[in-house]
Amino acid sequence: MRRFSIALIVTLAFGQQGLAHTVNGGENCLKIIETIGALEISADTVIEETADSCRIFDGHIKIDATVRYSFEELSVDGEGVIAALSEKSLPSSLNISAKNLHIQPVIDDKVFSYLLELQSPPFDVSFSIIWDESSASLRLVDASLSSQYIGRLALSGAFSNVSQPVASLFDTNPGPRIDSIRIVLEDRGLVGAFLVMPMSSFLEQARDPAAGVAAYQQTARDMIAGLPKAVADEGTKDVLTQFVDEFPRPSGIYEFVLTAGDGFSLEDVDVLPFMLEDRLTIEADYTETDLSLRSLEISN
Query: pLDDT tens for residues 18-35?
Result: 445 565 556 777 776 676
pLDDT in tens, 33-89: 676 567 777 788 888 888 788 888 988 888 777 888 899 999 988 888 877 777 777
Distance, in Å, from the CA atom of 270 to the CA atom of 173, rounded to the nearest integer, reads 14
Q: Is the pLDDT of residue 299 over 80?
A: no
Q: Rounded to 5 degrees, what are φ and ψ at 133?
A: -65, -35
Q: Rounded to 5 degrees, what are φ and ψ at 110?
A: -65, -35
pLDDT in tens, 183-212: 999 998 888 777 766 666 666 666 777 888
pTM: 0.79
Secondary structure (3-state) at 277: helix
Count of CB atoms within 10 A of residue 206's CB? 5
For 56-89, give the DSSP string: EEEEEEE-SSSEEEEEEEEEEE-TTHHHHHHTT-
Distance, in Å, from the CA atom of 17 to the CA atom of 26, rounded to the nearest integer, reads 11
State how far Cα 252 lies from the chain centre: 19
Distance, in Å, from the CA atom of 24 to the CA atom of 26, rounded to the nearest integer, reads 6
Question: Can you give the pLDDT at residue 262?
Answer: 74
State how far Cα 89 lies from the chain centre: 22
- Report the amino acid identity of residue 41: I
